[in-house]
Amino acid sequence: MLEIDISTLIFSIVTFVLLVVLLRRFLYKPVLSMLDQRRQAVNEALDQAERTHLEAKQADIRLQEQIAATRVEADRILAEAKAKAEENAAEVLRQAKSNAERISAQAAADIELERERALASVREQAADLALLAAEKALSSPLTDSQQQALLDSFVEQVGKGSC
């Protein structure tokens, strides 16, 4: 049957215990230490990833706020530009109306002046013709005082429009 040799058994137990102690000291502790370092590195990487994620969210929020502020500013600038353009258009229109009125008034004044000149010329020519006709009718030349009286009478009648 099987015989158990005590010396071999003790040697085996001592060797086993020695092997366990050596493995624990030189293999188990370094492996546990390495696993702890690895766990710590993974935790730090996860923490860093979380911080980076939060920073990215905050940066996105800031970017959205800046975009909104930029849109508000752009809308304000567009509104100001539109108001300025409308104001400029109204001013140009006012100036154009003013220029048109001034030109129209000047043209009316020029027309009235030319009308007065034409009437004066017609009156003068009519007076000369009337004097000439009166001289021919009387067949004798009129004196200066007679010419002046006849001319004044004719101009007065032409001025009243009764001629």
**What are the φ/ψ torsions at residue 142 (nearest 5 degrees)?**
-85, 155
For residue 123, the model assigns a pLDDT of 80
Provide the mean pLDDT of the chain: 88
Using DSSP, state whether 1 is helix, strand or coil. Answer: coil
**Per-residue buried b or exposed e for 128-162, using 16+ beta carbons within 10 Å of the residue's own CB:** eebbeeeeeeeeeeeeeeeeeebbeebbeebeeee
Q: Looking at the 3D structure of the chain, how many domains does it have?
A: 1
For residue 96, the model assigns a pLDDT of 94
Domain range holding 109?
6-160
More confident residue, 65 or 151: 65
Q: Determine the distance from the C-alpha atom of residue 16 to the mean position of all C-alpha atoms in its chain, rounded to a whole number.
A: 89
More confident residue, 77 or 1: 77
Using DSSP, state whether 140 is helix, strand or coil. Answer: coil
Assigned domain for 78 exists:
yes
pTM: 0.42
pLDDT tens for residues 12-30? 999 999 999 998 888 888 8
Assigned domain for 1 exists:
no
